[in-house]
Amino acid sequence: MIELNFSNMMTEVLEEKGISERQIEAMRDRISRAHCELTGKNWPELAFQDLISQDTSAVAEIAEWIRENSDDFLVLGIGGSALGPRAILEALSPFHNLRKRPRVFIYDNADPVTMNSILSVTDIEKVAVNVITKSGSTAETMASFMIIWDALSKSMGENGKDRIVATTDPQKGNLRKIAGDRGLKTFSIPPGVGGRYSVLSPVGLLLAEVIGVKSKDLLRGAADIHPKCSDPEVWKNPAYLFGTLLYLMDREEKRNINVMIPYSDSLKFFAEWFCQLWSESLGKLGAGTTPYPSLGTVDQHSQLQLWMEGPEDKSVMFLRVEDHGADVKVPEIFKDMDGIAYLGGHSLAELINSEQEATELALSRNKRPNMTVHIPCVDPYHLGQLFHFLEMATAFTGFLYGVNPFNQPGVEESKSFTYGMMGRKGFEERREEVERARARKACYRL
Ligand code: PA5
């Protein structure tokens, strides 16, 4: 089971800069209210908690078809529809495309160079495509879908559609309509489950199965941690403590930047997934804290100076992997050079974990708050725990702040300006607003 060690957030270590047990106790009413919201029936969006007991046989079946019939697997989606799949891919199958088939491409950004590159290195007739969009209207995803649909149709005619799997709302949206009209293979994202809470739905599970990961193992991990993460007693609930501590650091200590630093390349994209979840869920009505994704040990040589001696506005969250699943010994050579000879005989796993511990200690000595999630190993079971733990923690923290952790009105606003600029019907006023803004922007130019 993953474990949260939050000692370095507390007064015992940080003295007056830490959070005291008394401060947490004083939050009891607010915590109880947030607990009731998270475990009650008021929010259809809590459906993400039901994903842990879903039947994955259809996902496994289609994945098998994809594995047997494709050289490449192309995921089209953005935001929650891409970050979760990418986190799974990078955590559980590093260097995937150099080692395994089908290769996997995740196309999220509307970058023409990337699209051209993907098209130029794949044989379209041997690509299986998974287009993922809950709304069925996100411009980036639908544009890439239209490009790939066209390429498939030109190359394979009617049969092109057989290479597409659409993952979308069960009833609504353009993609659902196209899928119904053209008879595409489909998966549903349950109506209540929003993009950033969807990694353990077919959004992430199809990719998992395609790369040979048993989605059941991801879900088993999530199911096993669920009772802990919904325990009403804050002192027994790592998700509630995680949220409560970051909330208190923000509200009472003005520390409103949250660095997530995994000490494992495999979790680099997991940190990016978390940052979207945290930002979009909490950043509203003037509330929220700014997460930023980092990587250990790399950012010790880039960001750490700022965290140690810069503004006292951060809490650092370490992700520490106990067993990296592989190790490499440093050879005992250059024995006459004291400056490097000490490394010989140790291993890279020892080095990376020592660096994590050293950084944790250095921050704590400098009274800089930090906490550590200990992960026994990066496998599907523990990754499932991590996803669910942070989804529960994030939704809970949203309720602590008194915001709706499931909507994203700010994102919708930017989408509507894009629709206006690209000429979508019904968004003419948005287009005019963009034109007025362009005129204002022209004032100061060098
Ligand atoms: O978390 C969210 O809801 C968003 O980030 C969406 O995932 C993102 O905007 C893409 O939306 P959709 O899945 O509707 O294409």
Helix 409-421 and helix 428-441, axial crossing angle in degrees, nearest 10: 90
Taking residues 365-381, report their average pLDDT: 98
Atom of ligand 1 nearest to the CA of 135: 14
Instruction: Specify the pTM.
Output: 0.96
For 3-15, the pLDDT digits (tens) are 999 999 999 999 9
Which of the listed residues 45, 48, 75, 81 should we mutate to test ligand 1's pocket, taking the one with most ligand atoms within 8 A of CB?
Answer: 81
Does position 414 have pLDDT exceeding 90, yes or no?
A: no
Amino acid found at 293: P
Q: Tell how far the Cα of 85 is from the centroid of ligand 1, in angstroms.
A: 13
Q: How many helices (H) and strands (E) does the chain have?
A: 19, 10
Least confident of 90-104, 268-282, 365-379, 418-432: 418-432
Would you say residue 423 lies in a domain?
no
Q: Tell how far the Cα of 201 is from the centroid of ligand 1, in angstroms.
A: 14
Assess contact for 411 and 139: CB atoms under 8 A.
no
How many independent structural domains does the chain possess? Answer: 2
Q: Whose CA is nearest to atom 8 of ligand 1?
A: 79
> Known catalytic residues?
280, 301, 415
- Based on the domain organization, do 349 and 244 belong to the same domain? yes
Residue where one domain finishes, among candidates 181, 196, 216: 216
C-alpha count within 13 angstroms, C-beta hemisphere, residue 231: 15
- Based on the domain organization, do 199 and 314 belong to the same domain? no
Assess contact for 393 and 242: CB atoms under 8 A.
yes
Taking residues 37-46, report their average pLDDT: 96
Q: Tell how far the Cα of 137 is from the centroid of ligand 1, in angstroms.
A: 10
Residue where one domain finishes, among candidates 401, 422, 440: 401
Q: Which CATH number belongs to the domain containing residue 346 in this structure? A: 3.40.50.10490
Does position 436 have pLDDT exceeding 90, yes or no?
A: yes
For 125-167, the pLDDT digits (tens) are 999 999 999 999 899 999 999 999 999 999 999 999 999 999 9
- Based on the domain organization, do 100 and 185 belong to the same domain? yes
Assess contact for 161 and 126: CB atoms under 8 A.
no
In which band, very low, low, confident or very high, does the pLDDT at 446 lie, cut at 50, 70 and 90? confident
- Output the DSSP codes for 386-404: HHHHHHHHHHHHHHHHTS-
- Based on the domain organization, do 25 and 85 belong to the same domain? no
- Assess whether the previous peptide bond of 297 is cis (omega < 30° from 0): yes
Q: Tell how far the Cα of 349 is from the centroid of ligand 1, in angstroms.
A: 36
Does position 441 have pLDDT exceeding 90, yes or no?
A: no
Would you say residue 234 lies in a domain?
yes
Neighbours of 428 (CB within 10 A): 12
Taking residues 403-431, report their average pLDDT: 91
pLDDT at 365: 97
In which band, very low, low, confident or very high, does the pLDDT at 444 lie, cut at 50, 70 and 90? confident
Q: What is the mean pLDDT of the chain?
A: 97
**Domain extent at residue 141:** 49-216
Which of the listed residues 76, 107, 135, 140 should we mutate to test ligand 1's pocket, taking the one with most ligand atoms within 8 A of CB?
Answer: 135
Q: Whose CA is nearest to atom 9 of ligand 1?
A: 79
Q: Whose CA is nearest to atom 12 of ligand 1?
A: 133
Counting residues of the chain whose pLDDT is more than 90, the rounded percentage is 95
- Based on the domain organization, do 171 and 233 belong to the same domain? no
Taking residues 53-66, report their average pLDDT: 97
Would you say residue 429 lies in a domain?
no
Taking residues 38-67, report their average pLDDT: 97
User: What is the greatest pairwise CA distance in the chain?
Assistant: 75
- Based on the domain organization, do 181 and 286 belong to the same domain? no
Does position 330 have pLDDT exceeding 90, yes or no?
A: yes
Taking residues 357-372, report their average pLDDT: 98
Does position 413 have pLDDT exceeding 90, yes or no?
A: no
Q: How far apart are CA 130 and CA 201, in angstroms?
A: 14
CA 9 to centroid of chain Cα atoms: 24
Q: How far apart are CA 211 and CA 392, in angstroms?
A: 26
* Bridging pattern class, strands 3-5 and 370-377: antiparallel
Helix 268-282 and helix 80-92, axial crossing angle in degrees, nearest 10: 160
Sorted by sequence, the CB contacts under 8 Å of residue 36 that are 6+ apart come out as: none
Atom of ligand 1 nearest to the CA of 168: 13
Would you say residue 126 lies in a domain?
yes
Atom of ligand 1 nearest to the CA of 280: 1
Q: How far apart are CA 335 and CA 314, in angstroms?
A: 41
- Based on the domain organization, do 54 and 91 belong to the same domain? yes
Does position 443 have pLDDT exceeding 90, yes or no?
A: no
CA 44 to centroid of chain Cα atoms: 21
Would you say residue 147 lies in a domain?
yes
- Based on the domain organization, do 231 and 286 belong to the same domain? yes
Q: Tell how far the Cα of 186 is from the centroid of ligand 1, in angstroms.
A: 18
- Assess whether the previous peptide bond of 244 is cis (omega < 30° from 0): no
Q: Tell how far the Cα of 133 is from the centroid of ligand 1, in angstroms.
A: 7
- Based on the domain organization, do 28 and 72 belong to the same domain? no
- Based on the domain organization, do 63 and 151 belong to the same domain? yes
For 228-286, the pLDDT digits (tens) are 999 999 999 999 999 999 999 999 999 999 999 999 999 999 999 999 999 999 999 99
Residue where one domain finishes, among candidates 164, 184, 216: 216
Burial class (CB within 10 angstroms; exposed 0-12, middle 13-18, buried 19+) of 16: exposed
Amino acid found at 433: E
Q: How far apart are CA 106 and CA 5, in angstroms?
A: 34
- Based on the domain organization, do 205 and 242 belong to the same domain? no
Which of the listed residues 83, 131, 134 should we mutate to test ligand 1's pocket, taking the one with most ligand atoms within 8 A of CB?
Answer: 134
Counting residues of the chain whose pLDDT is more than 70, the rounded percentage is 100
Sorted by sequence, the CB contacts under 8 Å of residue 346 that are 6+ apart come out as: 329, 330
Q: Tell how far the Cα of 141 is from the centroid of ligand 1, in angstroms.
A: 10
Q: Tell how far the Cα of 276 is from the centroid of ligand 1, in angstroms.
A: 10
In which band, very low, low, confident or very high, does the pLDDT at 415 lie, cut at 50, 70 and 90? confident
Assess contact for 318 and 360: CB atoms under 8 A.
yes
pLDDT at 412: 81
Atom of ligand 1 nearest to the CA of 173: 14
Would you say residue 422 lies in a domain?
no
pLDDT at 411: 83
- Based on the domain organization, do 7 and 131 belong to the same domain? no
Would you say residue 414 lies in a domain?
no
Q: How far apart are CA 176 and CA 170, in angstroms?
A: 7
Neighbours of 214 (CB within 10 A): 15
Q: Whose CA is nearest to atom 3 of ligand 1?
A: 195
Would you say residue 418 lies in a domain?
no
Which of the listed residues 138, 200, 275 should we mutate to test ligand 1's pocket, taking the one with most ligand atoms within 8 A of CB?
Answer: 138
- 6 to each of 15, 52, 75, 442, how far by Cα in Å? 14, 27, 37, 50
> Which residues have any ligand 1 atom within 6 Å of their CB?
78-81, 133-135, 138, 141, 194-196, 280, 408, 411
